Amino acid sequence: MSWSPEIQPFAERVVESARRLVEGHAVLSHSQHGNISIRLPDSNRFLLTGVGALADLQTTDLALLSTDGDILDGQIGPASNEIIQMHAAVYRRRPDINGIVHTHSPYVTSFAIANKPIEPTYEAMVRFDINEAVPVAAYGARGSERSVSNIIDVVNDTNKAVLLANHGLLAFDDTLEKATHLVFVLEEAAQFSLMANVIGGAQALPPEAIRQTQERRVEFERAGVVSADDE
């Protein structure tokens, strides 16, 4: 199966996201399990990985779905069939979201298994607009209506990730590339927080520090690239 010229570029972006995660090694579990989706510009369709592992993903391994969760083209394996509504529900809840990544990243999943939110302790979280604790969605059996409703219960208008209790991570952003990068940022944050807890406890950034960090980021972004010629 080949995708239309309209859809093919989006399928290639999903494959590139999978490549980045697989080559990132430590951000995936040993099984390299995960799933990725990207919303199409018409806003009511998305591509989803139809297989359970991200290694060697091809564009032909994707399926096209509606945001209601109906399969429009391609095929979905049993493992991915269970998570269709997990992706579709987030797209329905958040029209600003265009990419979603689910992983069992080891350190992040440790927080999920402990049912503990990840507080904004690591400056990089704030730099990438995670300025509130990453909440935990209460456990629900994979693919059940309860699991989906529990996710939507903790997705608000601004957050970009949720922990799935006893399961893993769901990261989302306005582009798939940003959502993919969030997996790396959150895995680092979880690792550093766990290490900090060994020596006295990770300290969350106070609201004023979060505000200042975001303001400085914006200032440098507005300044753009600086070169020797500018001096």
Residue pLDDT, tens place only, 70-124: 999 999 988 888 999 999 999 999 999 999 999 999 999 999 999 999 999 999 8
- The answer to the question of residue 226 being in a domain is no
Of the ranges 80-84, 143-147, 153-157, the best mean pLDDT one: 153-157
- Kindly tell me if the per-residue pLDDT of 217 is higher than 80: no
pLDDT at position 215:
76
| Percent of the chain scoring above 70 in pLDDT | 99
Domain span holding position 193: 8-221
Q: How confident is the model at residue 230 (pLDDT cuts 50, 70, 90)?
A: low
- The answer to the question of residue 147 being in a domain is yes
The predicted model gives 196-208 an average pLDDT of 87
- The answer to the question of residue 75 being in a domain is yes
Mean pLDDT value across the chain: 93
* Residue 152 belongs to domain with CATH number: 3.40.225.10
Which of these ranges, 21-25, 103-107, 137-141, 145-149, has the smallest mean pLDDT?
Answer: 21-25
pLDDT at position 231:
57
- pLDDT per residue as tens digits for the range 30-70: 999 999 999 999 989 999 999 988 999 999 999 999 999 99
pLDDT at position 8:
97
- The answer to the question of residue 104 being in a domain is yes
- The answer to the question of residue 230 being in a domain is no
pLDDT at position 78:
87
The predicted model gives 163-180 an average pLDDT of 98
Residue 184: alpha-carbon gap to chain centroid: 9
- The answer to the question of residue 55 being in a domain is yes
- The answer to the question of residue 173 being in a domain is yes
Tell me the whole-structure pTM to 2 decimals: 0.92
Number of domains making up the chain: 1
The predicted model gives 132-158 an average pLDDT of 96
